């Protein structure tokens, strides 16, 4: 029985059905945000119950597929799915209606636990978090230097945007994210052109363009492509074994 359940849980057709039901669950959440006739509300309620029942059955199958039941809870993804599924059992009515609706929205995240490629991305993000702190520190230093220069050069031109370092950093952040920067930056740039000074804004934009995203992406790829100690030991042992 346990072996049969394990075969079902690991089969591609069953995983495909689970992914399809997760997508259906996402569509149901979106459909409930529209003004629907009473018949449509009833149909959505029936489908929502069916999706919840399916998720419970799928979770039970996955749990019973483990030979040692305690190993099921050693996986963070299994714990995550269990919390989401149990939360979906909260009745969508009364005082718990808001919590129930929010938990039904989070059911879409089960797609991450079902698709190996998405799990790989999430694991890479988690591994890159410690190194991203240094990236944030580097970006802060760059922003601070440009903000100090900008507050010195532009303070007389526009004190609202460049009055001090803190305001200048906020302005530079808006420039880096292209948030309406063309509405208030060109005047300062034009004055600098007339005075034949450094084109401060263009320099900053070239410096910041996609830098943060490239740094984060490189950290993720490095953290995921770097072999673990266990892989190195196993690889060295295999080389030694075949050489003998």
Q: Domain tally for the chain?
A: 2
Residues 180 and 201 in one domain: yes
Report the pLDDT value the prediction gives residue 217, as an integer from 0 to 100. Answer: 58
Among 114, 149, 180, give the residue marking a domain's end.
114
Distance CA 189, CA 234 (A): 59
Q: For residue 177, how many C-alpha atoms fall within 13 Å in the half-sphere facing its CB?
A: 6
In a domain, residue 235? The reply is no
Residues 107 and 198 in one domain: no
pLDDT for 228 beyond 80: no
Domain encompassing residue 65: 2-114
Report the pLDDT value the prediction gives residue 243, as an integer from 0 to 100. Answer: 45
The tens digit of pLDDT for each residue in 86-131 reads 887 876 555 556 676 777 777 787 888 788 888 888 887 787 777 7
In a domain, residue 244? The reply is no
In a domain, residue 23? The reply is yes
Residues 147 and 79 in one domain: no
Report the pLDDT value the prediction gives residue 195, as an integer from 0 to 100. Answer: 45
Report the pLDDT value the prediction gives residue 232, as an integer from 0 to 100. Answer: 46
Q: CB within 8 A of 222, min separation 6: which ones?
A: 128
| Mean confidence (pLDDT) of the chain | 74
Q: What is the CATH number of the domain that holds 129?
A: 1.10.287.70
Distance CA 224, CA 168 (A): 37
Is the model more confident about 69 or about 181? 69
Task: Give percent above pLDDT 70 in the chain.
Answer: 69
In a domain, residue 231? The reply is no
In a domain, residue 42? The reply is yes
Q: What is the CATH number of the domain that holds 91?
A: 1.20.120.350
Residues 144 and 200 in one domain: yes
Q: CB within 8 A of 183, min separation 6: which ones?
A: none
In contact, 94 and 62? CB cutoff 8 Å: no
Element (H, E) at 110: helix 110-114
């Amino acid at each position: 029985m346990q072996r049969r359940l394990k075969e079902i849980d690991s089969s591609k057709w069953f995983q495909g059905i689970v992914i399809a039901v997760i997508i259906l669950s996402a569509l149901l959440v979106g459909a409930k945000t529209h003004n629907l006739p009473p018949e449509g509300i009833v149909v959505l309620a029936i489908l929502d119950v069916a999706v919840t029942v399916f998720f419970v059955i799928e979770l039970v199958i996955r749990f019973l597929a483990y030979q040692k039941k305690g190993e099921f809870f050693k996986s963070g993804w299994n714990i995550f799915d269990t919390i989401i599924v149990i939360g979906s059992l909260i009745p969508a009515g009364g005082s718990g209606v808001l919590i129930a609706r929010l938990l039904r929205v989070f059911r879409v995240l089960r797609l991450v636990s079902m698709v190996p490629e998405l799990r790989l991305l999430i694991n890479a993000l988690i591994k890159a978090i410690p190194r991203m702190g240094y990236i944030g520190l580097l970006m802060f230093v760059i922003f601070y230097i440009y903000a100090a220069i900008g507050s010195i050069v532009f303070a007389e031109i526009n004190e609202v945007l460049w009055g001090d370092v803190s305001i200048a950093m906020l302005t530079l952040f808006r420039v880096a994210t292209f948030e309406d920067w063309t509405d208030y930056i060109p005047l300062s740039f034009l004055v600098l052109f007339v005075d034949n000074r450094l084109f401060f804004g263009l320099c900053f934009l070239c410096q910041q363009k996609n830098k943060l995203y490239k740094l984060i992406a490189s950290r993720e790829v490095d953290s995921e492509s770097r072999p673990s100690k266990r892989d190195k030991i196993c690889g060295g042992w295999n080389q030694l074994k075949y050489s003998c």
